[in-house]
Amino acid sequence: MYFEDVNITDVKNDALNTVICNKKPQIVIIDSWFYRDGTFRRIGGLLKLFPKLNIAVVSLHDFPISNAPWFIWEGAKSYIHFWEGYEEFKRGFQIVRDGKPYIAPKVQKLIDQCDERPDISNKMTKRQKECLVMLCCGFVPEQIGEALNVSRSTVYNHLYSLYSAIHVHNRTEMVALAWEMELVTTKEIQLYNRKKERMSDMPIPQWAAVKQKSDWFGDFFF
CATH top-level class for 120-221? mainly alpha
Q: What is the pLDDT of residue 102?
A: 97
Q: What is the pLDDT of residue 92?
A: 95
Q: What is the pLDDT of residue 198?
A: 45
Q: List where CATH 3.40.50.2300 sits in the chain.
A: 13-112
Q: What is the pLDDT of residue 169?
A: 74
pLDDT one digit per residue (tens) for the chain, 222 residues:
677 888 899 998 889 999 999 999 999 999 998 887 678 878 888 999 999 999 999 998 878 887 888 899 889 999 999 989 999 999 999 999 999 999 999 999 988 887 666 666 666 888 888 888 888 888 888 888 888 888 999 999 998 888 877 667 788 878 877 877 778 887 777 666 545 544 444 444 454 455 445 444 443 333
Q: What is the pLDDT of residue 38?
A: 74
Q: What is the pLDDT of residue 191?
A: 61
Count Cα neighbours of 151 within 13 Å in the Cβ-side half-sphere.
3
Q: What is the pLDDT of residue 116?
A: 66
- Beta-strand ranges (E) seen in 94-218 are none
By CB atoms closer than 10 A (0-12, 13-18, 19+), residue 212 is middle
pTM of the model: 0.63
Q: List where CATH 1.10.10.10 sits in the chain.
A: 120-221
Residue from 28, 34, 32 nearest 7 by CA: 28
Handedness of CA 23, 24, 26, 29 (dihedral sign): positive
What is the distance between the alpha carbons of residues 133 and 198, in angstroms, rounded to a whole number? Answer: 15
Burial 88-111 (b: 16+ CB within 10 A, else e): bbebbbebbbeeeebbbeebeebb
What is the distance between the alpha carbons of residues 184 and 163, in angstroms, rounded to a whole number? Answer: 15
Contact predicate 80/96, CB 8 Å: yes
Q: What distance lies between CA 114 and its chain's CA centroid?
A: 17
What is the distance between the alpha carbons of residues 15 and 18, in angstroms, rounded to a whole number? Answer: 5
User: Which fold does the domain 13-112 belong to in CATH?
Assistant: Rossmann fold (3.40.50)
